[in-house]
Chains A and B, each alone.
Chain A
């Protein structure tokens, strides 16, 4: 927890990966646990395959809905290039959780720019924990539940009851996918416990 008992979580990824739904789950869990919450998202152009950053802040009383470099307690990256782009937001001693999959930006697809290499090694030096969310989502039965896998991993480092998470997920995801998403959440938690990802 940073100043004035407020926790700042940043979720970053690519349009279409479900970062906004994941942020909504987290915000609802915080609200459901009796805390003040603010969530800031930017959509518009980002819906067309651009970078998406979502900030969720919760605590006794939250003022600003945004944050600054060096101020984020938990950064959850849904894609490795986006992890690299935003790693400077993590505060000293903060957590960095990364889905190691990569979605290539258009300038890389067209050969205009080289694909960045060695990101995993650089991020590992920043104490990143890697959660193979895509693989775990498939294991859970829905490739689209990678966002919930990451929320499962994140949940290990937050002080919310598991039952509140289950309740929010069950209400928020499409009815047909509730079971797969609850499995995805559990797999994310397990992966985190295995990998000692709660600092």
Chain B
């Protein structure tokens, strides 16, 4: 096979496939999502989305215990969710190889926090491999399966956004048949981690890590490149590529294995260079690890937060930077926004008008926090909205303002359902809105249990969301079409006023699922009173004319959903013919 361009995610999927992985399972999360999508499309594999990362890892554990190789995919925050089984799987070990892709997001391009998953590897005592480009992403993944079985332990492949979402040349190979694991035999001392057995496995885990440490000392996954020895740099992952770009003459120790460390290898490198530096993103994991080994690491003036670039590294080493043009006045920012026709918009417009305190969650609807809707007060993690609303209600809420929890369908399945169960069990009141747009939209339209679309399009069952919520014991449950403003408003008002716990399921498909666009609307200039109510919808098709202050519609963006018609008291919107303007081009 010749060289092809693959993203790091695609390369991990291909590496797992080449290693003979039988099953792939994960939960969508940028920047990891495409990995499983790509894996699912390869020949001879089974793949599925799980409702959350904990379940995904548990499914993979079952695959492994039964003797086959499995790939689990998630983003860094997902590893928090999966950390419970992870820590114990280090003890039990594996039968079939178990590899966990964790994609970190330094710079937080699409995440609520920045965390370095190598800390989890060290914390849980699970080896972590760090590819620096797509070619290594493939090779390291196949190697991870070998190591998993050889050392009887799950292996993390840690990627970052510039590996996952960067494309580079890869030479893919053929699929191998995974080695046979032998007949399964009942063995509670290995698989049942109750205290008596776990104590022994803890000792065994330390033995396995000691063996891995020895392996790391001579593994070709760790590479030493001696050039000019006046500067020595220890780095890993994409930072290696930045270092080679910025400091082509420096000596480099590239760690492919981030845990366990290789003390002798590192000491040898340290002794042969004049000054030892570490270059890494988002956290000082490597620097701390080296110092724990007793090595002297000279600090560089690099910010610990965010992403690195070759320029940032050059600057840290005091090398000259190009003279830049002076910056012009700041350009208006371009925040992400809800799509034209988005069914979440009427709900947030209504919440804003009711001055509700909204405990929010993770998904497209988090954009309800942005102006002009500005109707979300908190967003912490997947599933947090319902628990936070319950907590606030416990102490009487926020004065006279109603407390409303907002959560999406996929997030509800992920970990909202337990929060709601808790509220019911403990006699909580309050209002919960489930925004069911029939898809996991933010990450690019993955299925989930509530819409019943499986990853490989197999026959499936769609959870009866209304029935599920009733079965949990919620006394007041109703399903409302959010595209109907009047119904949206009246339902919200009634349920806020109700003394009991209530759930409103606002059910309407994601605007991007609707392929047939209706004719756009236009503004009747004489009818527009410049009241600005339609502008507050935050619809990307509606603007305020800077000269007249009247509303106008960019007909090339409008999808004809009619939300503006419903909020305009002056009948200033009318349907017009299809636009012949260029898509999105504004020549005003």
Contacts and interface: CB of A to CB of B under 8 A. Distances in A.
Interface string B321-355: 11111011101111111110000000000000000
Most buried by A among B31, B166, B549: B166
B168 A42 contact: no
A35 to B, nearest CB: 9
Interface string A109-141: 111111110000010001000000011011000
Contacts of A135: 582
B379 to A, nearest CB: 13
B5 interface: yes
Interface string A41-54: 11111111111000
A45 B244 CA distance: 30
A105 B4 CA distance: 37
Interface size class of B (residues with CB under 8 A): 35 or more
Most buried by A among B309, B323, B535: B309
Contact of B242 (A15, A63, A134): A63
B497 interface: no
Interface stretch (A80-88, A154-162, A190-198): A80-88
Nearest to A122: B328
A187 to B, nearest CB: 14
A111 B540 contact: no
Given A31-B3, A143-B582, A114 B546 contact: yes
Interface string A84-110: 110110011000000001111111111
A71 B322 contact: yes
A4 interface: yes
A68 B400 CA distance: 50
Given A63-B242, A109-B543, A111-B535, A42 B109 contact: yes
Contact of A63 (B4, B241, B322, B332): B241
Given A4-B248, A48-B339, A144-B583, A110 B544 contact: yes
B162 interface: yes
Given A14-B334, A45-B336, A103 B585 contact: yes
Interface residues of A, number: 68
Interface in B126-170: 133, 161-162, 165-169
A11 interface: no
A43 B244 CA distance: 26
Contacts of A45: 109-110, 336
B586 A44 contact: no
A176 to B, nearest CB: 16
Contacts of B248: 4
A102 B10 CA distance: 34
Given A14-B334, A45-B336, A70 B162 contact: no
A115 B546 contact: yes
Contacts of B329: 116
B585 A134 contact: yes
Contact of B167 (A38, A68, A107, A144): A38
B169 A65 contact: no
A43 B538 CA distance: 22
B530 to A, nearest CB: 10
A69 B325 CA distance: 10
B238 interface: yes
B162 A40 contact: yes
Interface stretch (B92-100, B188-196, B292-300, B364-372): B364-372
Nearest to B134: A38
A150 interface: no
B323 A70 contact: yes
Nearest to B246: A64
A66 B584 contact: no
A74 interface: no
B245 interface: yes
A110 B311 contact: no
B30 A44 contact: yes
A177 interface: no
A37 B549 CA distance: 49
B510 to A, nearest CB: 12
B411 to A, nearest CB: 16
Interface string B26-63: 00001100000000000000000000000000000000
Contacts of A64: 238, 241-242, 244-246, 309-310
Nearest to A135: B582
Given A37-B168, A110-B372, A105 B334 contact: yes
A49 B328 contact: no
B542 interface: yes
B444 interface: yes
Contacts of B546: 111, 114-115
A143 B583 contact: yes
Given A38-B168, A65-B162, A109 B582 contact: no
B378 to A, nearest CB: 19
A63 B331 contact: no
Contacts of A107: 332-333, 335, 371
Given A37-B168, A50-B335, 7 more contacts: A16-B583, A31-B3, A36-B168, A39-B5, A45-B109, A46-B336, A92-B322
Interface of B: 3-5, 30-31, 109-110, 133, 161-162, 165-169, 238, 241-242, 244-246, 248, 307, 309-312, 321-325, 327-329, 331-339, 364, 367, 370-372, 442-444, 532, 535-536, 538, 540, 542-544, 546, 549, 582-587
21 contacts: A39-B5, A44-B31, A49-B336, A51-B334, A63-B245, A64-B238, A66-B307, A67-B310, A68-B309, A71-B311, A71-B322, A81-B332, A82-B334, A102-B587, A105-B335, A106-B370, A106-B540, A110-B372, A110-B544, A111-B535, A116-B331
